[in-house]
Amino acid sequence: MTTDTPEAQKSQPTILSYVKDIPNLCSLTGLACTILAIYFSILGVYYAAMIGMIWAVAFDWADGLIARRMKGRTGNDRAFGGQLDVLIDIVSYGVAPAILLLSYGKFEPVFLLATFLMLAASAIRLSYFSVFGLAGGSKYTGLALDNNNIILVFIFLFEGAFSQGAFSIILYISGLGLAALNVSQIKTAKLSGNPINVYILAIYTLGITGIYGWKLL
């Protein structure tokens, strides 16, 4: 068994030193948006939850854009940021949508199956990506998890056109469909890697925020 020498331990940065990294701050802000989304989902204030879910994506994409443009980031900075992103993604795009479905389904036991499958697919998808990365260096294998939130907040725009029971079935089917796509072998482009797509998402985020904000009034 080996142990780090005092000199090696002194050379290691402190844990909280990485919080000062701007991309990591963006990631943590996105996590805060996710916590709000989960909170409002549990309370049944779904329009507010939608705002939190889409802003989580916006900050997730922003941290990648900022990280690519920042100079002087070390290999450790990039590795730490990558690990932080993965851990936050499972909460933002796995846990939050699953709790949304469970809450909208009035926490009926039948919704536990879809909740488990959505979370399992998210965990499997992220584990696969951590091992194999992008296919051919440019495309994801399986639907990237951030698309879960982008699609769900759009679907929820039509919630008022259905009864609560009917829309809960739509959400159930949508959640299972997204989970299947997450772990499928389809190849999808890395949308967040293109600055133009980031700006399009920004417009979408502001539009979604305006629509759901108006609905909350």
Rounded to the nearest integer, the mean pLDDT of the chain is 91
Residue 87 has pLDDT above 90, yes or no: yes
Q: What is the DSSP string of 8-40?
A: HHHHSPPGGGGGGSHHHHHHHHHHHHHHHHHHH
Contact 119, 171 (CB under 8 A): no
What confidence tens digit (pLDDT) does each residue in 124-180 have? Answer: 999 999 999 888 878 999 999 999 999 999 999 999 999 999 999 999 999 999 999
Residue 65 has pLDDT above 90, yes or no: no
What confidence tens digit (pLDDT) does each residue in 96-115 have? Answer: 999 999 999 999 999 999 99
**In the prediction, which pLDDT does 73 show?**
74
Give the pair of three-digit tokens for residue 33.
């948006």
- Name residues whose C-beta falls within 8 Å of residue 123's C-beta, 6 or more positions apart in sequence: 90, 94
**CA-based nearest residue to 152, from 178, 126, 123:** 178
**In the prediction, which pLDDT does 75 show?**
77
Greatest alpha-carbon span in the chain: 65
**In the prediction, which pLDDT does 103 show?**
97
Q: What is the DSSP string of 131-173?
A: HH-SBTTTEEES--THHHHHHHHHHGGGGGGS-HHHHHHHHHH
DSSP state of 92: I
Indicate the pLDDT class of residue 6, thresholds 50, 70 and 90: low
Q: How many CB atoms are closer than 10 A to CB 138?
A: 10
Q: State the average pLDDT over residues 85-93.
A: 95
Residues 18-216, CATH architecture: Up-down Bundle (1.20)
Residue 2 has pLDDT above 80, yes or no: no
3-7, 32-36, 141-145, 192-196: range with lowest mean pLDDT? 3-7
Indicate the pLDDT class of residue 198, thresholds 50, 70 and 90: confident
**In the prediction, which pLDDT does 69 show?**
76
